[in-house]
Structure 1
Amino acid sequence: MTETVSGLELRTAVGSFPSGVTVVTSHSEGMDIGLTVSAFASLSLEPAMVVVCIENKSKSLPHLAVGREVGISVLASDQLELAVQFARHVENRFAGVEIERRGEIGVPFISGAVAWFLGVVDSWYKGGDHTIVTVSVTKCGRIREADPLIYIKGKLEGD
């Protein structure tokens, strides 16, 4: 007999593991796209790759198609309000946000973030109610020395 774990049980247990908070961005159909993502990790050093996991019902997901240039900004502990802003379901998540553009299509990055990654979406994989998006990193860097914003036990922890 196989037991099943409820979503709440899994969320509670996984919530004990802290993760950093990122904003994943692109420029698609003449507009900037961005969303808060805490499911981010390094995937490979050779070749340089990272992975993000995005909810299947996200309206931003179709704009992160295979072959599209994307950006990932690792938020600093003093950027909690930006994490909340990019998690909201509003028309323009970039309203009032200071950005820097990089790459061939002018991908927006969050100014003052701890680090950034520019890359191209390599693959999509099914992962239950999320899509696992692998990104081949073409450029990356650190912006400033600061503690990252942390997501733990269902809460954002910053300054």
Structure 2
Amino acid sequence: MTCADLTVTGDQLKAAVGTFPSGVTIVTTRSEGEDVGLTVSAFSSLSLDPAMVVLSVANSSTSLPHLTVGAPVGVSVLAEGQGGLARQFSVRGIDRFAGVDLVRRGRGVALIDGAAAWFAGEIVNAFPGGDHTILTISVAECGTGDDARPLLYQRGRTHDWAADAS
């Protein structure tokens, strides 16, 4: 039997992939003078030379049309305790930036103050990837928080780190 003989449902794939914990990011851009932002957990490093990261955004996202090649982009890796921001930036029809402490970098992109890490750059490529669009980002600036531990996402919810055992 080959993989081509198998049929995997979306629910099966979601359950299996959901066992793999990932970080949680807030991705932002500036569009027509306004901040646009959304929660993204599909984020990873891509290249050290040149410095690049990659993320994928659901094609159904209302923010996706603003994430175009050449657009400035910021990625904030949320820290432990920032789970409320992950939820806030995933809700449609609200001001996602209301009450959020921001730092501006790069070409004015908003970054979440207190994030575990941050990246500012520009979208270089957009590729179709099933029901998502894969975006590659050239990183112009990046940094880390003061020993902040990242917020984790697994099995459909966010998790703070367990207390250190060491």
TM-score normalised by L of structure 2: 0.92
Q: Per the alignment, in what secondary structure is the counterpart of residue 84 of structure 1?
A: helix
Question: How many Å separate the matches in 2 of 1:4 and 1:30?
Answer: 45
Please point out which of 70, 76, 79 is paired with 1:76: 79
Question: Match of 1:94?
Answer: 97
Question: Match of 2:57?
Answer: 54
Contact 2:40 2:57 in 1 (8 A): yes
Q: Per the alignment, in what secondary structure is the counterpart of residue 87 of structure 1?
A: coil
Contact 1:74 1:114 in 2 (8 A): yes
Question: Match of 2:148?
Answer: 146
Please point out which of 151, 154, 157 is paired with 1:155: 157
1:96-125 per-residue CA deviation (whole Å, 9 max, x = no partner) reads 111011112x10000010110001101011
The correspondence of residues 120-131 of structure 1 with structure 2, limited to 5 A, is: 120-131=122-133
Question: Match of 1:16?
Answer: 19
Q: What residue ranges of structure 1 are gaps of 5+ in the alignment?
A: none
* In the alignment, structure 1 residue 118 sits paired with structure 2 residue 120: yes
1:118-150 per-residue CA deviation (whole Å, 9 max, x = no partner) reads 011010111100000000101100122121100
Question: Match of 2:39?
Answer: 36
Question: How many Å separate the matches in 2 of 1:103 and 1:153?
Answer: 34
CA RMSD of aligned residues (A): 1.1
Identity %: 56
Letter in 2 for 1:49: M
Question: Match of 1:7?
Answer: 10
Question: How many Å separate the matches in 2 of 1:78 and 1:144?
Answer: 14
TM-score normalised by L of structure 1: 0.96
Letter in 2 for 1:158: D
Contact 2:101 2:112 in 1 (8 A): yes
Instruction: Give the Å deviation of 1:92.
Output: 1.1
Greater Rg by CA: 2
- Count of matched residue pairs: 158
Question: Match of 1:136?
Answer: 138
Question: How many Å separate the matches in 2 of 1:84 and 1:124?
Answer: 25
* In the alignment, structure 1 residue 64 sits paired with structure 2 residue 67: yes
Question: How many Å separate the matches in 1 of 2:144 and 2:14?
Answer: 30
Contact 1:33 1:60 in 2 (8 A): yes
Q: Per the alignment, in what secondary structure is the counterpart of residue 93 of structure 2?
A: coil
Q: Per the alignment, in what secondary structure is the counterpart of residue 81 of structure 2?
A: coil
Runs of 4+ in 1 over 2 A off after TM superposition: none
Instruction: Give the Å deviation of 1:4.
Output: 1.3
Question: How many Å separate the matches in 2 of 1:16 and 1:6?
Answer: 16
